Amino acid sequence: MTTPLGSPRILLVDCDMFYVQVARLEDPEGAGREDLLIVGGSPSGRGVVTSASYAVRDFGVRSGMPTSQALRLCPDARVVGVSRRACSRRSKEVRATLQRMAPVVQAASIDEFYLDLTGTERLLHDEPLETTAVRFRRTVLDETGISVSIGGGTRKLIAKLAAGRAKPEGVFVVSPGQEEAFMRGFALEEIPGVGPALAKALADRGLLTVEDILPVERTWLERWFGASRGGWLWSRARGLDASRVNPAEPRKSVSSERTFAWDLQADAALEKELLKLVTSVGGTLRKTGLRGRTVTVKIRDEDFKTRTASHTLPEPLEADSTLLQVAGTLLKHLRKTRRRGVRLLGVGVSSLVEGEGAPQLELFSDEGPAESERDRTISRVVDGLKERFVDDAILPGGMLSEDTD
């Protein structure tokens, strides 16, 4: 069906099992020959699954699952890793291909891209959106070797959900005017933004599917869940979404985490790993010209219990030294409340702002450290040395201490 002139024309391009595809492309004679493939963790069962081939998913394996559990479900699967650099390079190749075909491209994540084709009907000779999507899918595969699924519709929400219907390796487009009918086929927990807590609160009221919630008046939803969230639910259940495809949409957070080959018990060993993570996150912030106000530390204990602690500062940070002070305090708090072996440690920075023009404070406030321009200069000098030589050529002293665990 041809989209009516003037209707929004949105596509979501979703790279199928992206990390598995990259692993196969980077190692065609190894991972490339494996049908049962898991990316993430180690063959010994440590870590968590980042991605799994469709053949492995048939055994019940899912992203985020402990690799040990995945191997129990599919013992014949091969577990491999894939470098972040390779994934970034492949993602940029896909984006570059899309940017040549579509006027507006927004990277929603490393493996998802929104395209806005509104107003291109005449340019594309009134080609139906589904035909355009099929052509785009074929071009991406031919030029990058990456297979994608594409969902389409009049809104980002519809395109996102349609991409899920298109998997694997297909195209699914919702025609204008069919948004509410399309939404009726979903459980409420499938709507992006409906997390476990909200899904449970909805279930407690007997609301499990979009079909269940459509008869509920908006005023009742606002009374139960608050004006903002209730109104949001009412709109989403009908496929309504006012967000636009924005290629300049700011990054929401910067994070880094690591799963260890064995559980770390000693505080000194964890502090050493925390330093590595902080320098990675800080380097990314400075490279992208960002600073952040909220620092979060994440721990996954040996029994798979995941805990986080966050602190929001009055002014944004970017220097490794001040980020480490905040993250170190959060880590100590998490360790004080529960002392178990740690299998994963992560650091994230959010509430991001552009670096230029941000206030520069010289003193410490009651709410946490405020970094000086000297702190920032030192971090930037170290960044420059790493680029000139290699990342491991310049290391903080804490990284050079002998292991204590």
Catalytic positions, please? 112
3-state secondary structure (DSSP) of residue 138: helix
d(CA 294, CA 185): 38
Give Cβ neighbours of residue 167 (< 8 Å, ≥ 6 apart).
14, 16, 149
Output the six-digit token pair for 276: 């590595």
Q: Which of 270, 273, 112, 134 lies closest to 192, judged by CA? A: 112
Output the six-digit token pair for 210: 């979009």
**DSSP letters spanning 231-249:** HHHHHHHTT-------TTP
Output the six-digit token pair for 330: 């959060």
d(CA 93, CA 14): 14
Query: Where would I find the beta strands (DSSP E) of 265-387?
Result: 290-301, 306-317, 342-354
d(CA 300, CA 254): 19
β-strand 112-116 against 342-354: which pairing, if any? unpaired
As a 3-state breakdown, the chain gives helix, strand, coil percent values, each rounded to 5, of: 40, 20, 35
Residue 38: its H or E element: strand 37-39
322-325 — which CB contacts under 8 Å span 24+ positions? 322/369, 322/370, 322/371, 322/375, 323/278, 323/281, 323/282, 323/295, 323/347, 323/349, 324/274, 324/275, 324/278, 325/368, 325/369
d(CA 62, CA 50): 8
Tokens 């740690």, residue located: 342
3-state secondary structure (DSSP) of residue 278: helix
